[in-house]
């Protein structure tokens, strides 16, 4: 399962009652993207929740793909967001706090930790492969990215 399948909407029950409709807890489920982050849903939310939902829509759902919001851009952008927070020196618990403050989302810090570990292993694999192929530029990029993630 991708990390984006393990990102959840905070205050889920309260938000569902504001929207007067049920939706999945998972933030990136198609139905959640439809119900919570687009047009009509937004207008039913209280202002604090709406601000967070709007920020999420602006930061992650703003692409022009025809299949928006199902094109995968939101998931890719969110993964970059997590990696950037890590590169700024935040640990899993702090990352969970920040996504709560900024977008009213939560995740289990253990899941974030596994995701970060997995990312480092992926970069190691990229580095090794680039070394084998003599692609120094790619190897150096992977090394630098890995340094950012491991601090």
* Residues engaged in binding Zn ion (CB under 5 A): 63, 65, 71, 73
Q: Which is nearer to Zn ion, 65 or 125 (CB)?
A: 65
Helix (H, G, I), strand (E, B) or coil at 53: helix
Q: Which is nearer to Zn ion, 77 or 146 (CB)?
A: 77
Task: Provide the minimum distance between the beta carbon of 33 and Zn ion in the complex, in angstroms, as a whole number.
Answer: 12
Q: Which is nearer to Zn ion, 73 or 94 (CB)?
A: 73
**DSSP one-letter code for 29:** S
CA 66 to chain centre: 21
Q: Which is nearer to Zn ion, 63 or 138 (CB)?
A: 63
Task: Provide the minimum distance between the beta carbon of 63 and Zn ion in the complex, in angstroms, as a whole number.
Answer: 3
Cis peptide before 69 (omega within 30 of 0): yes
Task: Provide the minimum distance between the beta carbon of 26 and Zn ion in the complex, in angstroms, as a whole number.
Answer: 19
Task: Provide the minimum distance between the beta carbon of 78 and Zn ion in the complex, in angstroms, as a whole number.
Answer: 12
Nearest CA to 60 out of 44, 46, 81, 34 is that of: 81
Q: Where does residue 33 rank: exposed (0-12), middle (13-18), buried (19+ CB within 10 A)?
A: buried
């Amino acid at each position: 399962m991708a990390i984006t399948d393990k990102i959840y909407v905070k205050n889920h029950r309260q938000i569902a009652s504001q929207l007067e409709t049920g939706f999945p807890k998972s933030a990136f489920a198609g139905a959640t993207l439809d119900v919570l982050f687009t047009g009509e849903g937004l207008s039913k939310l209280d202002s604090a929740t709406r601000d967070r939902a709007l920020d999420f829509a602006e930061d992650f759902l703003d692409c022009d793909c025809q299949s928006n919001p199902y094109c995968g851009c939101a998931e890719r952008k969110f993964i970059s967001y997590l990696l950037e927070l890590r590169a700024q020196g935040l640990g899993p618990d702090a990352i969970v706090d920040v996504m709560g403050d900024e977008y009213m989302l939560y995740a289990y810090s253990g899941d974030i930790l596994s995701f970060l570990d997995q990312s480092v292993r992926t970069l190691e694999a990229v580095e090794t492969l680039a070394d084998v192929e003599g692609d120094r530029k790619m190897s150096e990029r992977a090394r630098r990215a890995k340094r950012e993630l491991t601090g």
